[in-house]
Structure 1
Amino acid sequence: MLWANRRRLRDYAKVGRQLLFQRIAIYSAAIFLAGAYYNWKIALIFYALVWAGEVYDGVVFRNILVMRQWNETAVRHFMRAIYLGTVISAAVISFFCIAVSIQQGPETGHFMPLFMLVSASIFAAINNHHFLPVLALRIAIYVSAILFVPIRDIWIVHPPLSSELWLHLFTVLFVLGFIVELSRSFLTGYTASLHSRQDLEAEHERTKAAYQAKTQFLSTVSHELRTPLTSIKGSLEILHSGVLGQPPEKMKRPLDIATRNTRRLADLVNDLLLLQKAEAGKIEFLFEVRDLGDLVNEAIERFRPFADRRNITIVTDAPKNVFWARFDGMRLDQVITNLLSNATKFSEDDGEVRVSIKRHNGYVRVSVSDDGIGIADSARGRLFDAFSQLDSSNTRKFEGTGLGLNISKRIIEAHEGEIDFTSTLGVGSTFFVDLHEEDAPTQITPSAEDSAPLKIKARA
């Protein structure tokens, strides 16, 4: 209840402030006409009263909008202030219109004052529907003034029922029914809208709490797993390497499986930690202008043992000292390594992976191509999502966490670059990274050896 009243008060104050100039323009025009055609003294008195009411409302609206510590006492205080402001403003307009009708005389039809009162009622129904009692009070004051004008004429003239003065009264009653129905309609619509907003905000808070719980869970679990995993991984790799002596033949295969899966688990933990940092915007980057070809070739050399195990050939066209960009070496190396890993993983044994650097539409493009299974067009929209897998079944052929491309995309976006792919199902895929090209720190001329394509053939 407190939330709803606070929201209604703030909405009421915002609308009141937004419509200030409209109200002043309408009042100024009406009072100027009344002064020009009837009495300037009365018109200026009411104009001063209008401004006094607007100043009072302005102070109330400002206090509502700056209020931060809400409670029932504050709500009651502001409601009393709004009731008082409603009485002041509605009474000023009503008495002004009554004063104009008196100056006009009973035989004129009172178009101007009645039009102003009906317009004010409709304006209130449209814009002041946040509280039923407040709207009812304002409408009641306007309705009293609207009824007073034709009833006063009938009281003074005592016309027969066939007189147009009675027609004026019946017309006023018809218009009042329209105003009441309009007020009810806007109030009902606003109440329904407010309930919908309340439900949406409650759902948002639940979603935000769930997201924070998930983030905290991932962070805690990842950190708790990292330390024992590092010890287990190190011990298994020592045993597997034979430094402590060659293990028995029967233990080699279990050790190999345990080592490989421990590495996978360690990579998953590291990816989860990096994803959590990325979502929180806490990844730190050290940008500097560097030779892109040098970084790509270093990444390929480190990746070579993995390609060797699959007998994959890596063909490179990544000349050194030719293409320069501003990037974080460690993070970009992670992206290139991930693209190489995916290209190798989805290629057949004895296949070929091609890496190149070229200029493309004002960018420097690093491309990694394979002759693997390809990617269906239907997968494009979710390929870079976290935990996304082309094959998410329990019996899928290719392993992976589904985090690599999502993290790579976040890293490249932080570089103000772009990562994307082209693919033909059953033919292969090309993933590429576009970065802004920079001038070399010094004038460097690439040698013929640096510029020549390089083939790295896995050892037999």
Structure 2
Amino acid sequence: MRDYAVVGRQLFLQRIIIYSAAILLAGYYYDTSTALFFYAMVWLGEAFDGYVFNQILRWRDRDWAKARHFVLMIYIGTLFSATVIASFSISLAAQQGHTMHFWALFMLFSAAIFAAINNHQILSVLVLRLSIYIAALLFIPIRDLVATNPPLSSPLWLQFFTVLFVLSFILECSRSFLVGYVKNLRYINALVAEHEKTKAAYNAKQEFLATVSHELRTPLTAIKGALQLIGSGALGTVPPKMQHLFNMASSNSESLANLVNDLLDLQRAETGKLELHIEPIELGAVAAATVDRTRPYAARFDVTLHMEQPKREYWVNADRHRIEQVLVNMLSNAAKFSETGGRVEISLGAHDDQISLAVKDYGIGIPKDASEKVFEQFSQVNSSDIRRHGGTGLGMNISRHIMQAHGGEIDFESVEGVGSTFYVTLAEDKTIRPQPIPDMRKSA
């Protein structure tokens, strides 16, 4: 019923143009007063249908009494409008006398085809409308045959047989469009049902991630705290025989904590609950501090981090903690996938009111056919990378969510075997006038 109303409202202008042209032409060549009367009836029917369509499209509840009322209103509108068109065509044929009625029959044929194409949403309504048009199509030539009783060679008989042929064409068109609509409706219903299942599974996954992550965080915090206390020597020196196991427990607890934090961030990002504390920050200073903090991690891979000294300040409105999180992901990935003894370069620049921070490595690079995996969840370019280099496979996906929440972007350029350049872009804060940075400032 809603589909019927949508299509009916969309085709209002098209119907009016067709009816206006047909009736006004008939008025010019035949009786003007009759044409104007039926033209007014057409507008009355359209006004009634328009009111019913609007009421249906505003209907939101599942009140079946209203549904039955709307169906009845559709029947009334259909009966009225179809009767007007049929009566007008019969009137036009009567004015022409007992002769060939091309214009009158063409009007009915066009109206029937229009109904077959556009009124198949409700079968009973289509049957009602076509019944009226078909009755008029048969009445016009049969009336001439009864009144004149012509021989079989008369063109009036040819007109009658032509009408029969046209009727078979109309019925076939109606059947074809009705079958197609039913198939499409079943397909759409299947898609809707599948979408609901997918949405339910997604919601279940989100609730599971949130619950498990929160439940893991509490005991994990206690475990990390106990290990840190032992490592500090407050409870005595760790025996040499236990040192290896202690280091393994500390490392794995840290990895598990990172996984829990990443899962929580992912859950917040996908549900639109990623909190941002936006403030003006100087991106160069934030980058320099993050680089210094990441140097020990890069040293584990025998990789050095080199940040080019910015020539001026670069102010953006962002969440300092989240931007640092993105930079740590970029720097740690660059270090992990660089060759031993490699170098990672960090640079800042501005273009068209956009600040860009780039992290360039000279490592293994990313194959073209694997570029889509970079920002996927639980994914790295090579599945063996997770085992060899560690990581959750969530860092870059979370980084993309963070940058999108800032209205910025994160992307990369890479050549396999040569290296990769990852960069983030943010809008520059034009309310703060950037100051030049003196040359005496040492490179981070």
Aligned equivalent of 1:453: 443
Deviations 1:196-215 (A, max 9, x none): 11111111111111111111
Deviations 1:200-235 (A, max 9, x none): 111111111111111111111111111111111111
Q: Which amino acid aligns with 1:63?
A: Q
Is the CA contact 2:380–2:386 (under 8 Å) kept in the aligned structure 1?
no
Distance in 2 separating the partners of 1:307 and 1:170: 90
**Structure 1's 17 and 359: CA in aligned 2 closer, same or farther, altered over 3 A?**
closer
Q: Which amino acid aligns with 2:98?
A: P
Aligned equivalent of 1:105: 97
Aligned equivalent of 2:116: 125
- Once the two structures are superposed, the pairs formed by residues 113-152 of structure 1 within 5 Å of their partners are 113-152=104-143
- 2:158 partner SS: helix
Specify which of 32, 50, 53 is matched with residue 45 of structure 2: 53
Is the CA contact 1:318–1:355 (under 8 Å) kept in the aligned structure 2?
no
Aligned equivalent of 1:224: 215
**Structure 1's 398 and 73: CA in aligned 2 closer, same or farther, altered over 3 A?**
same
Aligned equivalent of 1:253: 244
Distance in 2 separating the partners of 1:59 and 1:430: 60
**Is it true that 1:12 corresponds to 2:4 in the alignment?**
yes
- 2:387 partner SS: coil
Deviates more, 1:340-349 or 1:325-334: 340-349
Deviates more, 1:439-448 or 1:152-161: 439-448
Aligned equivalent of 2:368: 377
Deviations 1:163-216 (A, max 9, x none): 111111111111111111111111111111111111111111111111111111
Distance in 1 separating the partners of 2:309 and 2:324: 14
- 1:315 partner SS: strand
**Structure 1's 229 and 47: CA in aligned 2 closer, same or farther, altered over 3 A?**
same
**Is it true that 1:435 corresponds to 2:426 in the alignment?**
yes
Distance in 1 separating the partners of 2:409 and 2:434: 27
Aligned equivalent of 1:184: 175
Aligned equivalent of 2:265: 274
Distance in 2 separating the partners of 1:234 and 1:422: 41
**Structure 1's 111 and 269: CA in aligned 2 closer, same or farther, altered over 3 A?**
same
Distance in 2 separating the partners of 1:386 and 1:76: 49
- 1:253 partner SS: helix
Aligned equivalent of 1:299: 290
Distance in 1 separating the partners of 2:400 and 2:196: 28
Distance in 2 separating the partners of 1:438 and 1:215: 35
Is the CA contact 1:313–1:352 (under 8 Å) kept in the aligned structure 2?
yes
Aligned residues: 444
TM, length-normalised to structure 2: 0.94
Is the CA contact 2:364–2:417 (under 8 Å) kept in the aligned structure 1?
yes
Aligned equivalent of 1:312: 303
Deviates more, 1:126-135 or 1:387-396: 387-396
Is the CA contact 2:311–2:436 (under 8 Å) kept in the aligned structure 1?
no
Is the CA contact 2:23–2:35 (under 8 Å) kept in the aligned structure 1?
yes
Distance in 1 separating the partners of 2:320 and 2:156: 89
**Structure 1's 440 and 73: CA in aligned 2 closer, same or farther, altered over 3 A?**
closer
Deviations 1:351-403 (A, max 9, x none): 33222223457643322233333222221111111111223259831211111
Q: Which amino acid aligns with 1:375?
A: I
Is the CA contact 2:386–2:392 (under 8 Å) kept in the aligned structure 1?
no
Aligned equivalent of 2:346: 355
Q: Which amino acid aligns with 1:273?
A: L
Distance in 1 separating the partners of 2:283 and 2:386: 39
Deviates more, 1:351-360 or 1:225-234: 351-360
Aligned equivalent of 1:161: 152
Aligned equivalent of 1:457: none
Deviations 1:28-82 (A, max 9, x none): 2333233333323332332332223222222221221111112544433322222
Is the CA contact 1:60–1:81 (under 8 Å) kept in the aligned structure 2?
yes
Aligned equivalent of 1:213: 204
| Structure 1 residue ranges without an equivalent (≥5) | 1-8, 455-460
Q: Which amino acid aligns with 2:37?
A: I
User: How far did 1:276 drift?
Assistant: 1.0
| Structure 2 residue ranges without an equivalent (≥5) | none
Q: Which amino acid aligns with 2:401?
A: R
TM, length-normalised to structure 1: 0.91
Deviates more, 1:25-34 or 1:204-213: 25-34
User: How far did 1:320 drift?
Assistant: 7.4
Aligned equivalent of 2:18: 26
Identical aligned residues as a percent: 52
Is the CA contact 1:296–1:318 (under 8 Å) kept in the aligned structure 2?
no
Deviations 1:240-268 (A, max 9, x none): 23222111111111111111111111111
Is the CA contact 1:292–1:320 (under 8 Å) kept in the aligned structure 2?
no
**Structure 1's 318 and 334: CA in aligned 2 closer, same or farther, altered over 3 A?**
farther
Q: Which amino acid aligns with 1:175?
A: V
**Structure 1's 243 and 319: CA in aligned 2 closer, same or farther, altered over 3 A?**
farther
